[in-house]
Structures are given as C-alpha cells and as structure tokens.
Amino acid sequence: MKSSERYSSPAIALHWLIAGLIIATFIWGLVVSDMPLSPAKFKYIAWHKWAGITVLALVAVRLLVRLLKRPPALPAHMNGIERVLAHGGHLALYLLMFAVPLTGWLMSSAYGFPVVLFKVVQLPDLVAQNEQLAATLKTVHETLNWIMAACVAGHVLAAIKHHVIDKDGMLYRMSLRGPRQ
C-alpha cells in the first residue's frame, strides 16, 4: 500500500535543514571538546553554540508547523507495536531536539561563558555561575547527545526498513524531490 500523502513543504525543508545542522553540530562538538585551550577553541565553541541555538529556534518553528498541519497518517500495514515505536521515536526526537541545545545553553550559563549569538545578541543566563553545576550539566548535555545519536540511528534504520523491506514508499513523504509517480 503506497501513500502519496506528503509532509507539508515547510515541514520537509525544516526536517532536512535541522538534520544537517544537528549532525554537523554534534560532530563539531565532539571535535571541539577534545581541543586544548586556544583562540581557535574559543572561536569553534562559539560556532557550536550559535549552531545549537539556531537548531533550538528552528525546532520551535518546526513544532509549530507540525501542530498547525498534522503529519500524514502512518501506513496502514503497520501493527500496534510498530506504531508505538514510530510515535515514541518521534516524540523522543522532538524532546531531544529541545533538550540538547537547552542543556548546552544551561551549561554555558553555569560555566560563566554566556551565549552571544553571532557575536551580536547576548542570550540571558538561565542559571547563575556555578562550576559544579556546570560540570553536571556538561555530563547531561553529552549523555543526551548520545541518546539522540541512538534515536537518529533508529530513525534512519526505520526509514530504510520502510523503503527496502516494506517497500511502502514512505521515504517519499519526507523527500525533497517529491513522490515517484
């Protein structure tokens, strides 16, 4: 059973834009956190923060788009467990897309290194400076990142399963190129 119903264009554009940003910011964060202190590190951390806050803003828009325009229904062939997994996976991804940048922002505040978006807009500190809290938030930020990486891997594997095993054409609902006629 093929579904020709697609996500709305804004939802598709945001999906891929956010996906690209998340992957780049994730890898960038891994690289930067291992760097010794240097002017380059300051610069790269700033870029990482800007990217993270951009993701946070885009995810807020995306959530709005999703609430205003319901996504297409899941394919009819999916059974109960598959449906629970699909909805649970999407819910987890949405929660993490908010939680990961927010914990990064929190950790910046706690360290006493506020976020100054694109060198222009200083974001308010979410918590007061506290090095111990900062270290805890760093661990939380890192752990959530790995959980998100696992969720993204599951998301990609599920998409491949739909495409290769179920052959239900579901991948085209989110494709930038549109459905195959």
Partner 1 sequence: MKQLRLIPAALLLVAPLLQAAPLDTGKSQINFTMKQLNVPVTGSFKKFSGTVVLDLKKPETGKADISIDTASISLPTAEAVGEAKKADWFNVAKFPSARFVSSSIKNLGGGKLQVAGKLTIKGNTRDVTAPFTARQEGALTVVEGVLPVSRLAYKIGEGDWADTGTVADEVQIKFKVAIPAGK
Please pick, from the candidates 115, 137, 144, 170, the single residue that binds partner 1 as defined by CB under 8 A: 115
Q: Is residue 124 close enough to count as binding partner 1 by CB under 8 A?
A: no
Q: Does 181 contact partner 1 by CB under 8 A?
A: no
C-alpha 143/C-alpha 159 separation (Å) is: 24
Among 43, 87, 167, 180, binds partner 1 (CB under 8 A): 43
Window contacting partner 1 (CB under 8 A); options: 18-26, 33-41, 64-72, 173-181: 33-41
Identity of the residue numbered 33: S
Q: Is 132 in the site for partner 1 (CB under 8 A)?
A: no
Of the candidate residues 9, 27, 42, 57, the single one contacting partner 1 (CB under 8 A): 42
Identity at 73, one-letter amino acid code: A
For the bound state, the minimum distance from the C-beta of residue 49 to partner 1, rounded and expressed in Å, comes to 9
80: tokens are 């109960």
- Please identify, using beta-carbon distances, which residue of 1 and 37 lies nearer to partner 1: 37
Q: Smallest gap, in angstroms, from Cβ of residue 108 to partner 1?
A: 9
Alpha carbons 67 and 90: distance in angstroms, whole number: 14
Among 69, 112, 143, 150, binds partner 1 (CB under 8 A): 112
Q: Residues 19, 96, 27, 52: what is their CA dihedral angle, to the nearest 10 degrees?
A: 80
d(CA 7, CA 110): 39
Phi-psi region of 112 (alpha: psi -120 to 50; beta: other; left: phi over 0): left
> Helices 80-111 & 131-160, crossing angle to 10 degrees?
150
139: contact with partner 1 by CB under 8 A: no
**141 near 120, Cβ under 8 Å?**
no
Find the binder of partner 1 among 1, 38, 132, 176 (CB under 8 A). 38
Binding site for partner 1 (CB under 8 A): 37-40, 42-43, 46, 111-116, 119-120, 122, 129, 131, 134
